[in-house]
DNA sequence: TATTGTTATACTCTATAACTATA
DNA sequence: TATAGTTATAGAGTATAACAATA
């Protein structure tokens, strides 16, 4: 076992635990209740993504960011569109595509939701030293970036697992 | 907006992205294929948990660590038991309970799987400074711990979100 | 011919309800 | 009566396949 392996061996259990934490349905139910909104989780995920993007996105872009497949997004957009939470407009640059944007109503919903969840995070990290908080943000950003790159490569079949030149 | 909020506001998108990364089914398929095993994801999650615990666990303990409900675990244990990947023995301390343990076959399976996935992590973090790697492990451990505490409190209804005294 | 998106269908994963056995 | 686990059923979430329209 080389030291590099030792350094990352413990990562899998940590990330699995984080995954189970964030997948807790009960938690989401509490969040939407506190926020006073009524949406299922994938629908809210779409709203969060649109809000974070700060510009209208194509259906395909949303699917990529959710790491899901197109039809899944379409189905939720249909529901969200009927409720006037999002709107779809033609993409001026490509007549095949459509741009998805939050309506004012949708903006209010995602605002209330993120306020609640960010409040939880703030409370959970309240006792942390400032340095640790900023380190976490920086390392988490790099981790997701590097894992995305690695996983994309693995999924593409190049499997750069072994020698890692 | 107080500085504390600012420090954690960016956390939600990061964690959501991490969640979508770890939820990618395609990735798991690649892992089990590389490892040469044939198990679905929740079944493998059970094996990883048993392996990390380094001792037999009760059904309820497994469910808690997976953040799922009892019947879900039972169903997969039935399947794993038939294939002699796990075994259930009576808990000497409580005749109602049963202890779940990996068989030698199960140990080999989880070993192959974790080797593959840890290899991915090692590759993804290969260029990181040692200091960043150790910081990540430390902060991730504390983050999951603090989020677990926070989320448990929220789910219990105390909702220590607001003033956070 | 390749790409963007939609519709329809099937599968995976998890939860709720009802039940048995032991404490 | 409460707790540990199981069985059976229902629902949420996501993928695959087939199709329409534009590039």
Determine contact: A121 vs chain B, CB below 8 A.
Answer: yes
The least confident of B6-10, B144-148, B151-155 is B6-10
Distances (CA, A) of B136 to A7, A151, B5, B119, B124: 10, 19, 21, 17, 13
Chain A nearest-CA distance from B88, in A, is 23
**CB count in 10 Å sphere of residue A113:** 23
pLDDT at residue B142 tops 90:
yes
Q: Residue B24: what pLDDT?
A: 80
Partners of B41 on chain A (C-beta within 8 Å) are: none
Task: Check CB contact under 8 Å for B15 and A116.
Answer: no
Residue B133 (CA) to nucleotide D13 (C1'), in angstroms, measures 34
Q: In what order do the strands lie in the sheet with A86-91?
A: A57-58, A94-102, A86-91
Backbone φ/ψ region at A79: left (φ over 0), alpha (ψ -120 to 50), beta: alpha
Residue A23 (CA) to nucleotide D9 (C1'), in angstroms, measures 23
The CATH number of the domain covering residues in A7-126: 1.10.10.10
**Bases in strand D with any atom closer than 7 Å to a protein CB:** 3-9, 12-18, 21-23
Dihedral angle sign, alpha carbons of residues A113, A138, A57, B28: negative
Contacts of residue B121, defined as CB under 8 A and 6 or more positions apart, other chains included, come to A8, A11, A12, A147
Mean pLDDT of A121-126: 92
Kindly indicate the confidence band of residue A4, based on its pLDDT and cuts at 50, 70 and 90: very low
To 5 degrees, how large is the angle CA B107–CA B109–CA B110? 70
Instruction: Report whether CATH 3.40.50.2300 matches the domain B24-125.
Output: no
**Which residue is listed with tokens 């590759």?**
B123
Contact map slice: A 134-163 vs B, CB within 8 A? 134-137, 139-144, 146-151, 154-155, 159-162
Domain spans in chain B, listed from the N-terminal domain onward:
24-125, 128-165
Contact call for residues A51 and A107 (beta carbons, < 8 A)? yes
């Amino acid at each position: 076992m080389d030291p590099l392996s030792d350094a990352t061996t413990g990562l899998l259990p940590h990330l699995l635990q984080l995954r189970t934490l964030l997948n807790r349905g009960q938690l989401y139910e509490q969040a939407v209740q506190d926020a006073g909104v009524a949406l299922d989780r994938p629908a809210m995920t779409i709203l969060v993504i649109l809000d974070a993007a700060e510009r209208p996105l194509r259906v395909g872009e949303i699917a990529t960011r959710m790491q899901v497949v197109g039809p899944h997004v379409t189905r939720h957009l249909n529901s969200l569109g009927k409720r006037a939470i999002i709107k779809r407009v033609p993409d001026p640059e490509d007549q095949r595509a459509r741009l998805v944007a939050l309506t004012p109503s949708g903006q209010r919903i995602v605002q209330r939701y993120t306020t609640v969840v960010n409040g939880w995070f703030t409370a959970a990290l309240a006792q942390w030293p400032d340095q640790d908080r900023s380190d976490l943000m920086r390392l988490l950003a790099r981790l997701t970036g590097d894992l995305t790159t690695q996983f994309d490569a693995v999924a593409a079949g190049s499997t750069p697992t072994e020698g890692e030149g």
